[in-house]
A and B are shown apart, each in its own frame.
Chain A
């Protein structure tokens, strides 16, 4: 790597004004950078009813027995972080930084610190975030869960997360971002760097449950080594002001695999620019990107980019959009980039309204028009995800179900 701490700081300073490639430009000074500290909460059951409910909508179940560990950050304080399984670590990233010298080697290794003004801000203003790691060969019995919670209106939350699945380990994570019911606006900048080591498996489900005027700029990247598997699921079906993210996976090891699934619903006033990209850099690498986008009046840009850099790779991109209101816009931008003859890249994109023929088919079986429509929409959102642990699937299904009700 060669970059020192000081080098990174300097790069960040230079990038402070660097406008991002995608998404509307956010005036970050409009948000409050500081707030009171919250005390650490040892007993998970002492979170308030409201907090628990809001977190649950983002897939983080504080009452669940089937979790191997929990992390909660409220505003700018880490209020809980504990693992209940040997070989699984979940803690405040600051704590991890104190504990492990080597953590600096992973800091800004997957995501460039000077990518744009948001990464720069995270370097210069970062307050906590989580560190999750599975030790070599350890397989998580239940998923770990992490929640980033905003309780104060108009606050800026800048976190840096690092997730490492060590060699031969299996790590399953549910993360949720949520706001308290009274919160309307705020800024969330979240850096997430994932490292999937040789033969390891990492499944990651992220559910966003923001507020109508939130500005959200996650910056994520993953590096997958030989034989590793990275499976990422993203669900954002609740209103959000502006959301832009374009996570990338670098498949650097032979026979490594990445799969992204995203489910997006843009309500009126929501603006989403969301995509996934995978760079296939080693023989036998495989990738699949699937997205489902629905607009009920908001704007969605659904991106996807697959780049095959070496022979003997295979990847597929599937992007489907459903327009349920004439006020909504879906802009699908699938990109395939092959740099060698022996690459196998394909894509499938479709944007449109619900097929009348399908609605009528169901009506002929006795469903009303509304019932038929909601059945089709539910089917549209139902994507089968291979290799997803039951707990992660259950949380995804729950998030989809909650939103479906308000959708139609």
Chain B
């Protein structure tokens, strides 16, 4: 458990109860979105984690330790911090900005420079071109990137991001979201990400904490939030209806993955394991000699027999290229499968539809509608 909030409460000196007994846990490597309408206490909750705002009730544990017992500056130097207004230091170069925390931690100059170069490249900026520029010479999108790079400065295990892509145009925002997700796959930080945008939340979050008037209403995966809303507030806020209608407009063939590794039913289980390792995945689709879909095999089951067909799960739940996405999604939810095979009329395998693909389609539809 990287971050744990236990009945966290914040009453401001003027009596405003901004956060009321909020509890949730974020696992290492997870991206947790704090979502909710403006004024519901997202920012307050986030800032209590790095103690920019003192907590008035409950406890916050970072990596098992009570955060109030730690030195606050030490704590903050190990928690990356990126905000909507970015707050780049205008009198410092991009390189110096990114090197802020490394410099506070006493890294030698050469190391700070090297780190700044790496991070600029990571966020998609040419380090040679930008490292000596000043913030006033950058575009809004570039500033946001530098802000994220600066938050990653000393490679902190935890990142706090408060509407980091909030102040930029929708097209750039989508690009930054995509890029950031790609980066996160590599760096695997534990992230608290604040947004009031449900689509951003669904797209970015492993978990979403939906808040209302200082209270945590539902803490769940994006899928459950959308399709298993706890109450009417959640339903209204996520607009599940609207989202589903958007999915009705898309067919499987538009979004499915068509090239995927398979294994034949009478191959050896060892062969399947090798293929999984090559591809870096932990499951394979099983087909017969004619390429017809038979079922799945997972890495965990491989040891249970000699041949693939002895250990595979045969499955009858499939979709076709013309299935609409909302039907595919309800199949997924009712069967509990994260992936559905796409087959032709004669059961020949044509591709696969994953939950991630649907989720991506969902955000794209929604964002397209928003901008229309």
Partners in one complex: no
**B contact set with A: CB distance below 8 Å:** none
**A contact set with B: CB distance below 8 Å:** none
